[in-house]
Structure 1
Amino acid sequence: MGTSVGIGFSMRKNPVEAGHEAARSALEQAGVARPDFVMVFATVGYHQQRLIAAIREATAGAPLCGCSGEGIIAQQDVAESNFAVGVMAIASDELRFAIASISGIGEGGDVAGQRLAEKIAPLVAPDSRAFFLLADGLAFDFDPFVAAFEGGLAPPARLPIFGGLAADNWASRKTYQYHDDQVLSDGACCVVMSGKGQVAWGINHGCVPVGTKRTITRSKGNIIYEIDGVAALEVLKEYLDEEWAIKWNKATLNLCLGFKTPEHLRQGYEEYFIRYITDKDDRDGSVTIQSDVAEGTELWIVRRDKELMMNGLRSIPRQIKEQLCGDPPKFVLQFECMGRGRVVFKEQERMDLVQSLQRDLGGKVPWLGFYTYGEIGPIRKYNCFHNFTSVVTVVY
């Protein structure tokens, strides 16, 4: 049989109708009645439980994993709205997919990483190839999570991790993670992919510095209190427009923090790691990012550059083709930062960029993705967290 993959998409507003339409389209394209695994990305306008129940019904209860996104990227569709759902249905005698999930990741990244590792460890086999991780973008701290997660697995089980953080259409109130019939919040879902397959990927961010080098002078975990001896928020105000106090998410769309890429990753990445500023505290002037940072760390204020982003997206197929060595892709998963969607590109531009990627990697390759609150993808052999970035993952 090999591997059959189908993609379905719907923008119907009724969750049952949308779930059925997307799932049935995916099954029809895959040419199967019951898949071995289902991946789902959806936006948050739906009643999430009804949507997932409809997809589970249409796919005969096949194992399901996924999350909510700011928007959905599918085979011929890019939609950033409250009502959009994409379904990938996979039937294969070459690949196996095992899923696990946890809730309560806001209790601490280290605790969450250890708990998920305990659930994942029995599912990892000698032929396991990759993890796909989907977590709540409002509660996730990557560095302690990945340290505990990898520390809880035997060395042979430390696989490359790909994925994205669940989003909620800029509301920053509640995101969702899907595991079979469950709809979680403050949770994380993980897929272990095993069997006769390999993974190739490409990563690009397209941001440039807008100021001089600065230094973090007071921090704790992923909270930055002071930059150059001044409250972090006061420093950032120099670069923010007048609406920053009432529209924080909008004010920080074009502004983020850049950290020098560590020496051991320089050959496989760009000059800076990018971190989105997820939250602020007006009382102490601190800001929060999605990974830990130590006092004394150098940083740059950076912004997105539209031309660099477009050129960077075009470079991703070249990165991937070097790894494929001519082998045909089975399917593609794309994890795209929500700061690289409609806030930068017009609808036709977004569609043109996605279709250009699809043409370069094979126009008929099954393709599903979502706009995230953070992206996960390896640089060389190190699992890394990214912001304002595109991570395109190809299974072949």
Structure 2
Amino acid sequence: MDTAIGTALAAAENGRVAGERAARRALAELPTDRVDFCQVFSSIEYEYDAVIAGISAVIGTDPPLIGCSTGEAFTEDDVTRGVVAVGLVASDTVRFFAGLGTGLSDDVSGTVREAVADLPSEVTGYPHMAAINLHDGLSGVGEELALVTQKQLGPQVRIAGGAATDDHHLEGTHVFHNDTVAEDAVALGLIAATERPVIAVEHGHEPLSEPFEVTRSDGSLVYELDGKPAFQVWKDAVRAQVREEFGVTVDTLDPTDQLLQRIMCEFEFGFDQGGRYKMRWPWIETDGGPLHFAVGIPEGTVMRVMHGHPDTQIESGRQTVRSAIERAGDVEMAGAFVYDCACRSIVLEDELPVAIDAMAIELDMPMVGFETYGEIGMGRKQFSGFHNATTVVLLLPK
């Protein structure tokens, strides 16, 4: 049997019913009752154990299951919050395995070792391998995690995935592995296929400022750029553009203002990587305090303030799908898992469905995904794989 993917969103009065509904709808899209893999993204409004129990009541407990908490989730048909999103796969040409590691923020290497302990290093007859990495979105170790995952799985394994979210509350995020729900953890899904899975990554930001050097930082906190308070440098760089686009003076916005959060997602930082920029999302907790990032930012790092207009965000998602399809070449694909940054949803606001629909039209096959706190997209011979403000697409071969 070729690879078949069924996707569905469902809402209900409780997590178990939402999980059951989503699983039944996704299962109805498959040509068989057999399920070989399940990926689930659950709204923080539900009890996660109940969601998984509802899904398992439909598909059983044998298929490997991974997933995470989120705010907004989507399929090829819709995007919304307050739902459970399920992607089910049945295939004779792709095999799936799953693992879980805990204690991520204290020991990245040990956590990944735990997650890969029961995963095979090779699968006879399935020479092409890829992995899905879903992890605690508040751990602050995304870049290191991407590199360590690549090292422990091996350079031949391409990696996609995203950081779990909690609908912008920034209080706690969770990942799922089979019937286990965990914080401060990583869930890995290993894919072994007869044809090569494809991963593509794109963002819609362009340089706005001159480069700045990080002159004082501590882990993921950046205090100074070019010897000046980092938040002030950012405000100086975006002030004119913000006034023109939003009609406000950025200096008057309180750190707790949701408009400032949106503006900081639209005006992120980018690191020049030889003509391509890797995005990093900043946020501020107190006026005059440091800029916070999802990863460590060493002193000496050079970065620019970037600008990502809604129109360019829509086009970048479409371009990610095009890039993935081009990389697939003559190999027919069955569907996609998509990891899309929550910063993009903040910038896009009511146009997020337009952006998701643009990807779905370009793809023209089943897809399921969620809005992340950071994305992993890592291919062979890459030395950096954690991103912000991007769309990551993983295509499964048919």
Work out whether the TM-score is over 0.5: yes
Shorter-chain TM-score tier: 0.7 to 0.9
1:340 maps to: 344
Give 1:351 deviation, angstroms: 2.9
Q: Give 2:292's aligned amino acid.
A: T
Indicate if the aligned counterparts of 1:129 and 1:159 stay in contact, CA closer than 8 A.
yes
Indicate if the aligned counterparts of 2:101 and 2:113 stay in contact, CA closer than 8 A.
no
Structure 2 CA distance for aligned equivalents of residues 327 and 152 of structure 1:
28
Indicate if the aligned counterparts of 1:137 and 1:167 stay in contact, CA closer than 8 A.
yes
1:29 maps to: 29
Indicate if the aligned counterparts of 2:147 and 2:385 stay in contact, CA closer than 8 A.
no
Indicate if the aligned counterparts of 1:114 and 1:148 stay in contact, CA closer than 8 A.
no
1:297 maps to: 301
Structure 1 CA distance for aligned equivalents of residues 19 and 75 of structure 2:
15
Structure 2 CA distance for aligned equivalents of residues 134 and 279 of structure 1:
25
The residue matched to 2:35 in structure 1 has which SS?
A: coil
Indicate if the aligned counterparts of 2:222 and 2:230 stay in contact, CA closer than 8 A.
yes
Matched ranges for 1:1-396 at <5 A: 1-61=1-61, 62-79=63-80, 81=81, 83-117=82-116, 119=117, 122=120, 124-125=122-123, 127-153=127-153, 155=154, 158-238=156-236, 239=238, 240-247=250-257, 249-250=261-262, 252-261=264-273, 263=274, 266=275, 271-278=276-283, 280=285, 285-341=289-345, 343-346=347-350, 349-362=351-364, 365-378=365-378, 381-382=381-382, 383-396=384-397
Give 1:166 deviation, angstroms: 0.4
Unaligned runs of 5+ in 2: 239-249
Output the TM-score relative to the length of structure 1.
Answer: 0.88
Write the deviation string for residues 82-125 of structure 1: whole angstroms up to 9, x where unpaired.
Answer: x21111111111111100011221214344344445x2654544
Structure 1 CA distance for aligned equivalents of residues 51 and 119 of structure 2:
30
Cα distance change on mapping 1:297 and 1:201 into 2, 3 Å: same
Indicate if the aligned counterparts of 1:113 and 1:147 stay in contact, CA closer than 8 A.
no
The residue matched to 1:93 in structure 2 has which SS?
A: coil
Write the deviation string for residues 293-336 of structure 1: whole angstroms up to 9, x where unpaired.
Answer: 33222111223222222222232333123222233211101111
Structure 1 CA distance for aligned equivalents of residues 261 and 354 of structure 2:
26
Indicate if the aligned counterparts of 1:224 and 1:286 stay in contact, CA closer than 8 A.
yes
Structure 1 CA distance for aligned equivalents of residues 291 and 21 of structure 2:
42
Indicate if the aligned counterparts of 1:214 and 1:300 stay in contact, CA closer than 8 A.
yes
- Number of aligned residue pairs: give it: 379
Structure 2 CA distance for aligned equivalents of residues 327 and 147 of structure 1:
28
Indicate if the aligned counterparts of 2:134 and 2:162 stay in contact, CA closer than 8 A.
yes
Write the deviation string for residues 171-228 of structure 1: whole angstroms up to 9, x where unpaired.
Answer: 1111111101111111110011003132223322111233222111122433323211
The residue matched to 1:55 in structure 2 has which SS?
A: helix
Structure 1 CA distance for aligned equivalents of residues 308 and 107 of structure 2:
30
Write the deviation string for residues 106-150 of structure 1: whole angstroms up to 9, x where unpaired.
Answer: 214344344445x26545446251010000111141232233333
Indicate if the aligned counterparts of 1:244 and 1:250 stay in contact, CA closer than 8 A.
no
Indicate if the aligned counterparts of 1:128 and 1:192 stay in contact, CA closer than 8 A.
no
Moved more, 42-51 or 322-331: 322-331
The residue matched to 1:341 in structure 2 has which SS?
A: helix
Output the TM-score relative to the length of structure 2.
Answer: 0.87
Unaligned runs of 5+ in 1: none
The residue matched to 2:333 in structure 1 has which SS?
A: coil
Q: Tell me the C-alpha RMSD between the 2 structures.
A: 2.4
Structure 2 CA distance for aligned equivalents of residues 146 and 354 of structure 1:
25
Give 1:241 deviation, angstroms: 4.8
Structure 1 CA distance for aligned equivalents of residues 12 and 196 of structure 2:
35
Structure 2 CA distance for aligned equivalents of residues 113 and 60 of structure 1:
27
2:247 maps to: none
Write the deviation string for residues 242-271 of structure 1: whole angstroms up to 9, x where unpaired.
Answer: 33422374552323211111x4xx5xxxx3
* Identical aligned residues as a percent: 27
Q: Give 1:253's aligned amino acid.
A: C
